[in-house]
Amino acid sequence: MRVKRSLLILVILALVGVFALSACSAPATPTQEPPPPQEEKPTPPPAEEAMQGEKELEIFSWWTAGGEADGLNAMFEIFKKKYPDVEIVNATVAGGAGSNAKAVLATRMQSGNPPDSFQVHAGHELIDTWVVADKMEPVTDIFKENGWLDVFPKDLIDIISYEGEIWTVPVNIHRSNVLWYNKDIFEKNGLEPPKNLDEFFTVADALKAAGVTPLALGDNGVWADNHLFESILLGVMGPEKYKGLWTGETDWKGPEVKQALEIFAKMMDYVNEDHSALSWDQAAQMVIDGDAAMNIMGDWVAGYYTSLDLEPGKDYGWTPSPGTDGVFLMLSDSFGLPKGAPHPVNARRWLEVCGSKEGQDAFNPLKGSIPARTDGDRELYNSYLQAAMDAFASNPIVPSFTHGAAASEGWVTGISDAMSLFVADLNVDEAQNNLYQACVNAGVCSE
Amino acid sequence: MSQARKERWIAFLTLLPSIILLAIFVYGFIGWTLRVSLSAWDGITPDYTWVGLTNFNHLFTKAGGVSAVRFRIDLWNTLFFTIFFLLGCVMVGLILAILLDQKIRGEGVFRTIYLFPMALSFVVTGVVWQWIFAPGTPSRPRGINALLGLFGLEQLQWRWYTSTESIGPFHVALIPVIIAAAWQMTGYTMAMYLAGLRGIPEELREAARVDGASESYIYRRIILPMLRPITLSALIVLGHISLKIFDLIYTMTGKGPGFVTDVPGIFMFETTFQGNHYAQGAAISIIMLVMVAAVVIPYLVSSLRGEVER
Amino acid sequence: MKNRIRFDPMRLGIYTLLTLFALLFLVPVYVLLISSFKPFAEVQDLSRMWLPPKQPTLESFYVAWYGIPEKGLRGLSLNILNSLKLTIPATIISSMLGSMNGYILSKWKFRGADILFALMLFGMFIPYQSILIPLTRVIAAIGLGGTLWGLILVHVVYGIPITTLIFRNYYAEVPTEMIEAARIDGAGIFKVYWKVLFPLSLPGFVVVIIWQFTNIWNEFLFAVTILQRPELQPITVALRNLAGSQIKEWNVVMAGTLIAALPTLLIYIIMGRFFIRGLLAGSVKG
C-alpha cells in the first residue's frame, strides 16, 4: 500500500517536472519572483538616431595591473574626451593570464549577458570559440569606413577573418619568444646571452656554478609552462614545422616534439624552486632583483618593467629566446563586438578608438607592445619596442598557441593539462602521448 | 470528512510551489545534465547528438588521454582529502568536546573560538591559508616557512601546497589544504559532540561512579558508544562536503602543478567554463552526484525511517 | 557540584590543552589582523610576516574599501552592498517558504508527505555542479541572466530544503493539542498557522535567517557562474578576484578578507546560540 502511494507521488513529481521544464523553455516569467529590473534591451546595430540614448560602455578585459591597466586607461581617456557623457565600466577579471576572465566571459555570453566589447586573442581563440558559434558581429564595415584595410598588415587581417568578414579589432602585437636577462649578472660572470639551446645550457651551468638561479619561472596557473614550451618548440623545429603543428602537418609524435620536451625537462633543473607558487610578474621581478639571471616570457615583461621605471638596455637586457632569432612568435590582443551587446553604438565607437592611430599609440607604449597598425609613431616607443617593430616588419611571423593565436581554447586546455602533468613528473613519453591526444581531441590530428 | 479532504488538498497546494521549483531545479536539471553528459556538446553552442557513454569512457580509460589521468588523480585526491579531513575533524572535535564538557570556566569563550571559522566563507579561509602556507623561496621564506626560520627550524621548511612530491598516490601538497578545511569544520563536529554529551543524563555517569567505574572507563564504555550516531551524522555531513569541495581549494591553491591539489569540482569548472567542454563537465558532475548520493541517500532513508518508528 | 572544581594537575592540563587549541585556531586571525594593518612596504618584508605592524595604519582598509579607480582596482564597498541586496531578499523569501513548508510537513502530513520531504531534502546535498549547466541556461532564458534577481531565485530555490527541514523539526515540538484546540474553534489551515504557530516561530525564524544569511553571504559557486558583472558581483567573487590579481598587495587582500568576513562573523559572535542550533539542524535529525 505504502509503496504504491509513494510511487504515485513520484510519478506526479516527474510529470510536474516535465511539464514545468517544457513551460520553461518558452520565456516565461517565474511565478515566485518579483519582476527583474529590466536590462536595456539589446538593440540591433546602430541607427543614427539611437546614438543619443546610450550612457554606458562596458569593456571586459583581464588587464588589471601594471602597464596593461595603464594602457587600457589611456585608451579610456581618449574615449572619454570624445564622448564625455558616456560612463565606462571597466570590467576586469584578474588572474591566470586571462584564463579566469575567459571562464567568466563564457558564462556571461552563455547567459545572454555580454559586455559591450571584450578582449580576445586574435586568431583561433576568437574564431573557433566565438565566431563559429555565431556570437559575434562582423566589424568589416568599421575597417572599411576608417580605411584600416591599408594600415593593418595583410597577414594579420587574414588571422582575424573568417568566411569573408573581419571579426575583431587588434590593438597590439606582442612577441612571445623573448629572453630577458640581468645585465649585471651576465657581465660579472663574463657571459653572453645564449643564442641557441646548446648555449643556453652552457650559460646556465656557469650561472649555477656561480650560485645564481639561471632561469626564473612563474608558472602558478600553468600557462607559463606552455609559454616556455612554445619558445622551445620553435627553437627546436623552426618556423615552418612549428606552424605545421597546428595544421596537422608536423607530427606530434615526431622526434622534434620529443626533443623539445626533453629540453624542457632539462631546463627544470635550472629554474627557481618555488616556480609553481609565483606568477609571471614575480618571475620577471626575480631577474630585476638579481635573484635569477634569465626569464623567457612574452614582451609584456617590457611593459611591466616600464611600469617600474626601468630602462631597456640599461636596467635589463633582452634577446630572442634561444634558437628563435629571426622569427617573430606573435600574439595579438583585440576587441570584438558580441551579438546582443547592450550598448552597440558605444561599442562601435570604442572599436574605432581601439583601431585608431591615436588609440594604438596611446595604449602600446604603456602596455609594452607594438601597434598592430604599420604606421605607429616610432618616437613614442622605447628602444626595446622599436626593435620589436623592426622584427615584426622583417621576420617571418608564427602564431603563439599559448595565447590563442594558433589553436582553439579547447586544444590549449588539453595542452595545458598535459604540461601540468609534465612539470610534475617530467615523463617525456607520457607527455608526448598526451600532447598527441590533445591534438586528436581537437580534431586536427587523426588517430 | 470532505472538509478534512479539502484541507489535505490545501496542504498539498501550499507545498506545491516549492515542490515544482525543486522538481525543476533539482530533478529536472539533474536529468538535463545527465542528457548533456551523454551528448557531443563540445563548444559554446549546445549539441545534443547522442554519443552514449563516450564522455564517461574518456574520464576512465586511456582513450581520454590526459583527461583520464587528471580525473584519476582527482579521485585519489578526493579520497585522501576526505579520509584525513574526516579523521581530523572527528578526532579533534571529539577531544575538544570532551575537554569542554569538564565544567570549564570560560567555556563560552573557548567554544566561540573553536566554532567561529564555521561562520566564514570558504573563499575567506582559502585566501588566508594561501598566505599562511605560501612557501616563498629558500632564500626568502614566506608564511609558515618564515616562522620556522625564525625558530631556527629551517630543516622543517618545505614547499607546502606547491610540492609535487607524493607518497604513493597521496600528494603531500594536500596537507595544507586539509589543515585549512579541518580548521574551518572542526568546530562543527565539536558542537555536535558537545550537544550529544550534554544530552547524556548526569545520573548515568553518577550511577557508574557509584559502581566504582573510573572516569576513563565511563568515557570508553558508556559515553563514546552513546555518541556513535553523532559520529555517523558528522561523517555523512562532512563527507558529502568533502566529496563536492570546490570553493576552498579553487581559492587557496587551484589545481596545482601536476594536479597535486585538483579535485573533480575544479576539473568540472575549468573544463566546462574555460575549455567549453560542456559534455565532459556534465559527465564529471554526474560522477560527483553519484558519489554524494551513495553517501547521502542511505543516510536520508534510515534517518527518516527511524523518525517514523519513533 | 561546584565545589568539586578545585585546582589539580589534571585540570591544569585540560586548561592548557584548551588554550593551546584556541591559540592554534586563532593563528589565521592573527595573521589577518597584523597583515591588514601594515603598509605595503612592510607587508613585503617577509622577515616581519609574523610580527605585528610597526606603525598600524588603516591604509589597506581604505584601499580595499574604495579601490584605486585610476589603476582599475575596484573597491569592495560596492560588492558588500551587492551581497546585502542579494542576501537579504533571498533569506527572507526562503525563510517564509520554509516556514510554510515546515508547518505543512509537520502538522498536515498527507499521504506520501514523508517521501516528498525526503525528495526535497536531497536537494540540499547534491553537488551543485550537477545542475549548473542547465541552471545558467534557464536563468538566462527567463531573462534573469546576469541579474541579482537571478541569483536570488537560485538561493531561494536551493534554500528551500534546509529552511523546510529546520522549521519542520521546530514545529514538530509544538504540541498537537494546541492545534486541535484551534481546530475545534473552527480555524482552517492558514488560521492555525497564523494564530498558533506563527507567534511561536520567532526563535525558529532567527535560526533559519541566521543560517541562510551566513550561507548565502559566503556562497561562491553560484555567484561566480551566474553573476559575473563586476558592478554586481557579491563579495566572495570580488574577494577571489582581488586575491587572484597578478600583483598581490597582501595587506589590501587581507583587509578585504576581513571586510568580507566581518558581517557573518559579527552575527555569529552576537547570536552564536542560534547559529549553533542551525548548524545542528543541518544534520537532518535536529
Domain ranges of chain A: 52-174+331-399, 176-330+403-441
Domain that holds residue B283: 74-309
Using the predicted structure, report yes or no on whether residue B228 has a pLDDT greater than 70.
Answer: yes
C69: closest CA of chain B, how far (Å): 23
Query: Which chain C positions have a beta carbon within 8 Å of A219's beta carbon?
Result: none
pLDDT at residue C86, as a whole number: 96
Of residues A275 and A372, more confidence is placed in A372
Q: Tell me, what's the pLDDT at A95?
A: 60
Terminus-to-terminus CA distance in chain B, angstroms?
A: 28
The strand pairing partners of C63, in sequence order, are: none
Starting at the edge strand that comes first in sequence, how are the strands of the sheet with A174-175 ordered? A174-175, A328-331, A397-399
Select the residue of A17, A99, A133 nearest B23 (Cβ to Cβ): A17
What CATH number matches the domain at C77-281, 3.30.950.10, 3.40.640.10, 1.10.3720.10, 3.30.230.10? 1.10.3720.10
Q: Within 10 A of A112 (CB to CB), how many other CB atoms are there?
A: 18
Inform me whether the pLDDT recorded for C285 exceeds 80: no
Instruction: Report residue B53 CA to chain centroid gap.
Output: 28
Helix then strand then coil, in percent of chain C rounded to 5, is 75, 0, 25
* Residue A309 reports pLDDT greater than 90: no
Q: What is the rounded distance in angstroms from the CA atom of residue A177 to the CA atom of residue A185?
A: 21
Q: How far apart are the first and last CA of chain C?
A: 30
Q: Sort A145 into a burial class: Cβ within 10 Å, 0-12 / 13-18 / 19+.
A: exposed
pLDDT over 70 (residue A5): no
A429-441 confidence digits (pLDDT tens): 999 999 999 999 8
- Partner-chain contact B159 A274, CB within 8 Å: yes
Residue contact A409–B20, C-beta within 8 A: no
Is B52 part of any domain? no
Of C112, C138, C241, the CB nearest to A8: C112
Contacts of C95 in chain A (CB under 8 A): none
Mean per-residue pLDDT, C134-149 = 87
Is the CB of B45 less than 8 angstroms away from the CB of A14? no
Q: Judge whether residue A26 has pLDDT over 50.
A: no
Arithmetic mean of pLDDT over chain C: 88
pLDDT digits (tens, 9 = 90+) for A251-287: 999 999 999 999 999 999 999 988 887 888 889 999 9
Q: How many CB pairs under 8 A join A and B?
A: 129
pLDDT at A30 over 70: no
Q: Which residue of B has its CA nearest to C102?
A: B15
How distant, in Å, are the alpha carbons of A214, A224, A259, A302 from that of A217?
10, 8, 20, 16
Q: Which residue has the higher pLDDT, A25 or A70?
A: A70
B7 touches chain C (CB under 8 A): yes
**Average confidence (pLDDT) over A313-331:** 95
The distance of A275 to chain C (nearest Cα, Å) reads 15
Is B65 close to A291, i.e. CB distance below 8 A?
no
B254 touching chain A per CB within 8 A: yes
Minimum Cα–Cα distance from B301: chain C residue: C118
Tens-place pLDDT, residues A399-412: 999 998 999 888 99
Prediction ipTM score = 0.90
Overall average pLDDT of the B198-210 stretch: 88
Residues from chain B that touch A425, judged by Cβ atoms under 8 A, are: 164, 258
pLDDT band for position A40 (50/70/90)? very low
What's the pLDDT score for residue C255?
94
Chain A contact present for B15, CB below 8 A = no
User: A117-121 and A178-181 as β-strands: parallel, antiparallel, unpaired?
Assistant: unpaired
B211 belongs to a structural domain: yes
Strands A178-181 and A292-296: antiparallel
B109 touches A at CB < 8 Å? no
Band of residue C4 on the pLDDT scale cut at 50, 70, 90: low
Q: What value does the CA radius of gyration of chain C take, rounded to a whole number of Å?
A: 24
Cβ–Cβ pairs < 8 A, chains B and C: 263
Q: Is the pLDDT reported for residue C244 higher than 90? A: no
Contact across the interface for B66 and A434, Cβ inside 8 Å: yes
CATH number of A176-330+403-441: 3.40.190.10
List the 191-210 stretch of B: residues with Cβ below 8 A of A.
none
Cβ distance of B43 and A110 shorter than 8 Å: no
Q: In whole numbers, what is the pLDDT of chain B averaged over residues?
A: 91
More confident residue, A282 or B112: B112
Asked if A421's CB is within 8 angstroms of B259's CB, the reply is yes
**How much of chain A exceeds pLDDT 70, in percent?**
86
Residue A88 φ then ψ, to 5°: -95, 125
Confidence of residue A38 (pLDDT cuts 50, 70, 90): very low
Residues A387, A379: contact at Cβ < 8 Å? no
User: What is the rounded distance in angstroms from the CA atom of residue C75 to the CA atom of residue C66?
Assistant: 4
Q: List Cβ neighbours of C213 (8 Å cut-off, separation of 6 or more).
A: C87, C88, C91, C264, C267
Q: Is 80 exceeded by the pLDDT of residue C247?
A: no
- Is the pLDDT score of A4 beyond 60? no
**Chain A from 356 to 415: CB within 8 A of any C CB:** none
- B36 at C interface, C-beta within 8 A: yes
Q: Across chain A, what does the average pLDDT equal?
A: 85
pLDDT band at A104 (very low <50, low <70, confident <90, very high): confident
Residue in A with minimal Cα distance to C135: A111
* Predicted pLDDT at C286: 35
Q: How far is B20 from chain A (nearest CA, A)?
A: 6
State yes or no: pLDDT of A97 exceeds 70: no
- pLDDT score of A246 more than 80: yes
Q: Which three cell numbers stand for residue A342?
A: 547592450
Nearest to A93 among C119, C152, C241 (CB): C241
Q: Which of C40, C228, C229, C253 to mutate to test the interface with A (most CBs of A within 10 A)?
A: C228
CB–CB of B65 and A438 under 8 A? yes
pLDDT at A39 over 60: no
DSSP per-residue codes, C220-279: -HHHHHH---TTT--HHHHHHHHHHSSS--HHHHHHHHHHHHHHHHHHHHHSHHHHHHHH
Q: Which residue of C has its CA nearest to A115?
A: C229
Mean pLDDT of A107-118: 84
Query: B268 in contact with A at a CB cutoff of 8 Å?
Result: no
A14: pLDDT strictly greater than 70:
no
- Confidence bin at B8 (pLDDT 50/70/90): confident
SS3 B165: coil
Instruction: Average the pLDDT over each of A28-37, A417-426, B91-100, B129-138 and give the range with the smallest value.
Output: A28-37
Three cell numbers written together for B188: 562543527
Look at B147 and C49 and tell me if their CB atoms are within 8 Å.
yes
Q: Which chains touch A (3 or more CB pairs under 8 A)?
A: B, C
Q: Which chains form contacts with chain C, at 3 or more CB pairs under 8 Å?
A: A, B
In a domain, B254, yes or no: yes
Average pLDDT rounded to a whole number, residues A126-134 = 90
Q: Compare all CA atoms of chain A with the CA of C148 and give the residue at the minimum distance.
A: A36
B104 touching C, CB under 8 A?
yes
- C-alpha distances in Å from residue A168, one per residue of A79, A111, A348, A442, B52: 18, 22, 11, 23, 38
Say if the Cβ atoms of B24 and A423 lie within 8 Å: no
Q: Is a pLDDT exceeding 50 seen at residue A296?
A: yes
Provide the pLDDT for residue A41: 40
Tell if the CB–CB gap between B273 and A103 is shorter than 8 Å.
yes
* Statement: A52-174+331-399 belongs to CATH 3.40.190.10: yes
pLDDT at C246: 53
Instruction: Give B14 to chain A, closest Cα distance, Å.
Output: 13
Chain B residues close to C36, C-beta within 8 Å: none
C-alpha cell at A429: 613519453
pLDDT cut 70: percent of chain B above it = 98
Residues in chain B with CB shorter than 8 Å from the CB of C25 are 113-114, 116-117, 183
pLDDT computed for residue A144 by the predictor: 95
Interchain contact, C127 vs B269, CB within 8 Å: no
Mark yes or no for CB contact C220/B136 under 8 Å: no
Judge whether B85 is closer than 8 Å to chain C, CB to CB.
no
Instruction: Identify the pLDDT of residue C228.
Output: 67
- Contact list, C111 vs chain B (CB under 8 Å): 8
Nearest CA in chain C to B35: C134
CB atoms within 10 A of CB C215: 21
Distance from C-alpha of A192 to C-alpha of A184, rounded to nearest angstrom: 11
The whole-number pLDDT of residue A96 equals 55
Residues from chain B contacting residue A291 (CB–CB below 8 Å): 137, 139
d(CA C211, CA C224): 21
| pLDDT, tens only, C154-205 | 999 999 999 999 999 899 888 988 888 888 888 888 888 998 899 999 989 9
Q: Tell me the pLDDT tens digit for each residue of A184-231.
A: 999 999 999 999 999 999 999 999 999 999 999 998 777 899 999 999
Q: Is the pLDDT of residue A7 over 80?
A: no
Are C253 and B127 in contact, with CB atoms under 8 Å apart? Answer: yes
